[in-house]
Structure 1
């Protein structure tokens, strides 16, 4: 593998003298030629004269399609040819040393012709034939290599050079011949030689680097037949190729590396993935495993905490055909990442039997992945087949992710259509998902008004309002800061509304919150609101009567629907002679407590409407579902909370801090 490092230059003798052998002309202070410089020049000249012995080391690979047994012929043929040529060169050294003086060897560049028998013309003819033979060999191998690259579809610009299996690459041959003629027309071997040398060295370095990576990473597919191979030899070969490139000409090296980088970038953007795999993917895999092991399973410190949202794509209702999820979900997922960095897991549930729906799940996963890529969102798509949505989600929330890379936030859309389309199964499913997240200790973000969520080109003005009711580990604060990093929200300001008890010291609470935000290096305006300030009989809190009338009307309608639902439950229980049941389980209904929940939710909604009607986004704490209450009741509470608020994030933190003062 590293035999290619011996003859690494294609420079002419003059180029070696100019670039490498300047020491040959140097003298010491006494004007005497420096013998060390002469030895150095001779060494490099011999390396360059040795160049033809190894430039054909890839010839077998270039013509692999013509070989019967490539795995056997290429190693044996390459090593045999190189060793034979090397032996001939060593013999030539001794023969020339036997027939000529040192001075003659140094000054006569065509010593072979001088001592040839019977005539020097033999040598001239031999040089011409050797040159033509090498040219024809390259003209035979290079077009086939160009056609093979074109057939692999990794460079769309090379589609003109494609050939059918077994066909001759006529267009590629003409193109190669044109390049050769262009180089000949230049008429300057010392300009062409370094360029060709760089590409030879880049090719050799690339082959050695590939072998080094595959061997070092212990890829199961890497099974070389050469028993004496070791990754250190490949690394040495690649390193020496790069080093000698800089020794020859640093300017040519920089240009060559830049050109190779541009080609690689073009292939990564425009090229198609081949079926031969990618050595770098193996490196990424090993790096990911090492990183995952280093993270361990311990709790992540708040200053190293990243949101890993699990985006629940299952719609509450029907979507148009071939639309995998709500079009704005990925836009919102990007808003939860700083500068777009981070991982999102998009999950959908396919109802049915796994064996029957496996192929449908693969198709749905492919469509969802295409949607994520189209939205330029860093994330992965997963489709789970389950008998019901609840069963599927319960499995997802328990098993999705690895170690500390498990999703820590569940994002779902608020089911605004459940009453309009009479989807009676939604309340129990929705409440079940929230309870599952609480049990699994996952944070929850419920998005209301996703249809109106802005895209990256719709700049928002105004405020981002936070209604901080319960301790959530700082998740609402962190989400608001992440929103500000997006161009659409960068013109907004943050307002924090603290909902206080009636008898609490508002000024003291306000000072504490301001100090807390200052220590977190977060800029926000703080307000402290007591629920007692709301009164349905008159205007206050800065709001108009229309706002309160809408809230009171929604309150009255919810109160009436709950009474009707409770009456139906009681009638059914009396007829069946069973206790009150809802959602397949026993429930206990305290009517006074139901009224309290409705009234509290009404006051919070009215407060939000009074202070944040024109806000770009409103964030409010998610109230947990009351124990032993029917799911229908909780949906009524939630509907009353979100009433008339166009864009709302309902947030529940989990039992971990996501912000810290010690960063």
Structure 2
């Protein structure tokens, strides 16, 4: 209960505005902004400030939209991105953003040390001072966020006092000649507009300081937009006016060569020193508070299982995550200096901002009914501009580091995608897929059908719980690469006493499809009898032009069932659906393994032949059938017809652009010829003619006589729509 009392306690001013302002008005402002003005000149500096603020303002609009569209919990940018773009992008950017925040602690500790070193005796190690500062900041945050927020009010007062001293001092010594000389650029060796931009940009990245505290705010949806936008406006005025007064109060040489120039030209230098200490420490505190909460949220979501221990908290504080942040900051202190760390942090923040804008852009364009932000000053255009702006600035600053940052996020995203994360929150991916599918279906509905676009959409009557596995496997062979498959099941009975079973069977089929890695969908109906159920499935499944065009069924092995099948066959012909009847005699448990041998297609004309050849070709395109050969065969009664028929068959394959061999068999007994020629075949395709009602009783005998002991035969009755020359 003690931890809970601390949570959700901070207001807009204390929890968002103050952390944002103190993080933005930090080490760069006091120790490097003079360098920026000296190198870039006032005009370019104002462009840098304006460009930086434009990016952060657009990002703040996106941040505000997402924050007012969902119940915001801890984790700041990670939480918002993961709930929009999904755990893969969220996890990737969360890890990068956490590392950037942790390195920000190192940057602010190094800045504090630079200011303090002028007051310490020579020989004192800057690394030691920065390390002690890092430890002190970590201890403050370890004690608790509430205590740290209270400290920030005192620090804010110190920063305001130091700024007052700066404006008083520079106002008194403002020189129009200096102002004119500092108007244009004056880049020294190895510096350019974009290197200076990269140095300055971390100064404006504090907009996430409030969002990172989202789990500790009274009303995140209200506080984040108001507090962050207010901080952006106030700090933009401060940086713009500071640039003007710096340009009119110090020479270019002093601006570039003296990191403490801000203090020396102020009315009360001691207040500037106090402001430097206060600003750098407050920024370090803000980052030290925010980074552990990102890591804690990342760990709680179990995106990276190895980070799970960091999800723990004691008295509402993420103790282990604080320790991890301090250790990463210490590595940054030992390994780098301020000018080295700042550009790295810039890239990480730009990637984060870019993805946040992208998330809002996708939310806007998908027209998702659940996207109802209370913040109304953001739309798809502002979000797109923010995302594109971040990408362009990254490339212009340093395309190599931009490539490294993008590849790092991409690699993490790929790793998380392969990990098959199971999360209980929705994301934009399903919305994007739905919107894209909706538009494509509407376009497809208005397009003219052409046989070259025919693809197998197979309705496989798989039975209860895969009781006919050979049908499922065969359907997968036909559709894996280019088509789709529905696993159909008919539950006999009335709806009142079968509705729960329907839901259960759909769940079972979903699980089996996932386990077997099939490209398919479940389709279950309740009907008074099997034939009615199949006809309902055929008529009702699909949407627009995307509907089953091939019905795959097993071969009945009794005359009673065959009579029902014949009636169904005639009905399906009336519904203009092709039918494949699979006669399988071997053990179904071996069906996933393609047998050795040829795939024989027995040609008797184009009525069924074109579909048989195409289905055989599709089956041979499956990985399980690689290396097998298609044979196009025909029975003739006279040897004089061999040359003509073989030439015709060769021409069919050539015009169809399908590899295979042809063979003409001379025999007056077609069943004997088929059984003898194809006895070693892996699979056999034969045409199927719809029987007349008077022939139903003899239909099974005719089939058995035709195929004999052949183990795997597919009978095909085509409804048309296929052209091999297309």
Question: Does TM-score exceed 0.5, indicating one fold?
Answer: yes
SS in structure 1 at match of 2:423: coil
Are the aligned partners of 2:28 and 2:200 in contact in 1 as well (CA < 8 Å)?
no
The reply to whether residue 371 of structure 1 matches residue 437 of structure 2 is no
Matched residue, 1:441? 576
Change (3 A) 1:117 1:128: same
Picking from 60, 63, 68, the partner of 2:213 is 63
Gaps of 5+ in 1: 25-32, 316-322, 535-603
Deviations 1:462-490 (A, max 9, x none): 32211122422611111222232234433
CA contact (8 A) 2:198 2:346 kept: no
Q: Quote the offset at 1:654 in angstroms.
A: 1.3
Deviation at 1:380, TM superposition (A): 1.2
Deviation at 1:86, TM superposition (A): 1.7
Is the 2:601–2:633 contact (alpha carbons within 8 Å) kept by the matching residues of 1? yes
Q: Distance in 1 between matches of 2:455 and 2:195?
A: 59
- Cα deviation 1:121-161 (Å, max 9, x = unaligned): 54334323322211111111111122122223333333222
- Aligned to 2:371, what secondary structure does the other structure show? coil
| Residue 404 (structure 2) pairs with residue 255 (structure 1) | yes
Shift of 1:56: 1.7
Secondary structure, aligned partner of 2:630: strand
Whole-Å Cα distance in 2 between the matches of residues 653 and 110 of structure 1?
86
Q: CA deviation at 1:172?
A: 1.6
| Mapping 1:497-646, distance limit 5 Å | 497-500=633-636, 505-529=641-665, 533-534=668-669, 604-629=670-695, 631-646=696-711
The equivalent residue for 1:427 is: 562
1:347 aligns with 2:488: yes
Q: Which residue of 2 aligns with 1:180?
A: 329
Tell me the CA shift for residue 298 of structure 1.
5.8
**CA displacement 1:431-464 (0-9 Å, x = unmatched):** 2332232111111112222745797985644322
Cα deviation for residue 636 of structure 1 reads 3.0
Tell me the alpha carbon deviations over residues 153-201 of structure 1, each in whole angstroms, 9 at most, x when there is no partner: 3333332222379832222221122111111121333332222111101
Given that 1:311 and 1:410 are in contact with CA atoms closer than 8 Å, whether structure 2 keeps it comes out as yes
CA RMSD of aligned residues (A): 3.5
The CA distance in 2 between the partners of 1:221 and 1:405, in whole Å, is: 27
1:117-196 correspondence runs (5 A)? 117-118=267-268, 120-163=269-312, 167-196=316-345
Query: Within the alignment, does 1:223 sit opposite 2:372 as a pair?
Result: yes
Q: In 2, Cα distance between the equivalents of 1:108 and 1:251?
A: 30
Q: Is the 8 A contact 2:598 2:681 kept in 1?
A: yes
Say if 1:460 and 1:488, in contact at 8 Å, map to a contact too: no
2:599 aligned with 1:464, yes or no?
Answer: yes
- Structure 2 residue 382 is the aligned partner of structure 1 residue 240: no
Contact 1:467–1:496, Cα closer than 8 Å, also in 2: yes
**Structure 1 stretch displaced more, 153-162 or 452-461:** 452-461
Distance 1:42 1:500, change over 3 A: closer
Match of 1:394 among 535, 549, 553: 535
Q: Deviations along 1:503-522, whole A, 9 cap, x unmatched? A: 99443333222222222223
Return the alpha-carbon distance in structure 2 between the equivalents of residues 87 and 467 of structure 1. 83
Q: Deviation of residue 306 (structure 1)?
A: 1.1
SS of the residue corresponding to residue 344 of structure 1 reads: strand
Distance 1:372 1:364 in 2: 12
Q: How far apart, in 1, do the equivalents of 2:677 and 2:711 lie?
A: 14
Q: For structure 1, which segment, 518-527 or 454-463, has the greater mean C-alpha deviation from structure 2 after superposition? A: 454-463
Tell me if structure 2 keeps the 8 A contact 1:10–1:197: no
The answer on whether the counterparts of 1:298 and 1:404 sit within 8 Å (CA) in structure 2 is no
SS at match of 2:608: coil
More helix by share: 2
How far apart are residue 49 of structure 1 and its match? 6.9
Q: CA deviation at 1:617?
A: 1.0
Structure 2 distance, partners of 1:51, 1:451, is 70
* 1:85 aligns to 2:235 (yes or no): yes
The whole-number CA distance in structure 2 between the counterparts of 1:502 and 1:354 is 59
Distance 1:324 1:170 in 2: 51
Greater shift, 514-523 or 449-458, is seen at 449-458
- Is 1:408 aligned to 2:558, yes or no? no
Matching residue of 1:331: 473
Q: How far apart are the structure 2 equivalents of 1:209 and 1:363?
A: 39
Do the aligned partners of residues 169 and 659 (structure 1) sit closer, same or farther apart at CA in structure 2, a change above 3 Å counting?
same
Quick one: structure 1 residues 644 and 34, their matched pair in 2 at CA, closer, same or farther if it must change by over 3 Å?
A: farther
Aligned 8 A contact 1:153 1:159 in 2: yes
Under a length normalisation based on structure 2, what TM-score does the superposition of the two structures give? Answer: 0.70
Contact 1:156/1:271, CA 8 A, preserved across alignment: no
Deviations for 1:102-136, whole angstroms, at most 9, x for unmatched residues? 55445433112213454x45433432332221111
Report the structure number with the largest CA radius of gyration: 1
Please report how far the alpha carbon of residue 392 of structure 1 lies from its aligned counterpart in structure 2 after TM superposition.
1.0
Cα 1:298–1:183, aligned 2, differ >3 Å: closer, same or farther? Answer: closer
CA contact (8 A) 2:34 2:259 kept: no
Contact 1:351/1:388 (8 A) holds in 2? yes
Aligned counterpart in structure 2 of residue 201 of structure 1, from 335, 345, 350: 350
Is residue 2:103 matched to residue 1:38?
no
Q: What CA distance in whole angstroms lies between the structure 2 residues aligned with 1:102 and 1:247?
A: 25
Conserved? CA contact 2:462–2:469, under 8 Å: no
Whole-angstrom CA distance in 2 between matches of 1:521 and 1:475: 14
CA deviations over 1:592-631 (Å, ceiling 9, x no partner): xxxxxxxxxxxx43222111111111111113122334x4
Q: In 2, are the aligned partners of 1:16 and 1:48 still within 8 Å (CA)? A: no
Taking the aligned partners of 1:511 and 1:109, their CA distance within structure 2 comes to 89
Rounded Cα–Cα distance in structure 2 between residues aligned with 1:48 and 1:633: 84
Q: Which residue number corresponds to residue 97 of structure 2?
A: none
Shift of 1:362: 1.8
Q: Which protein, 1 or 2, shows the higher relative CO under an 8 Å CA cutoff with sep ≥ 6? A: 2
Structure 1 pair 475/99, CA: closer, same or farther in 2 (3 Å)?
same
Q: 1:101 to 1:251 in 2, by over 3 A?
A: closer
Counterparts of 1:96 and 1:506, CA distance in 2: 98
> What TM-score does the superposition give when structure 1 sets the normalisation length?
0.76
The one of 509, 516, 522 equivalent to 1:381 is: 522
1:439–1:375 Cα change, 3 Å: same
User: 1:366–1:459: structure 2 CA closer, same or farther, 3 Å change rule?
Assistant: closer
For residues 157 and 392 of structure 1, the distance between their equivalents in structure 2, rounded to whole angstroms, comes to: 50
The verdict on how the C-alpha distance between 1:487 and 1:21 changes in structure 2, with shifts beyond 3 A counting, is same
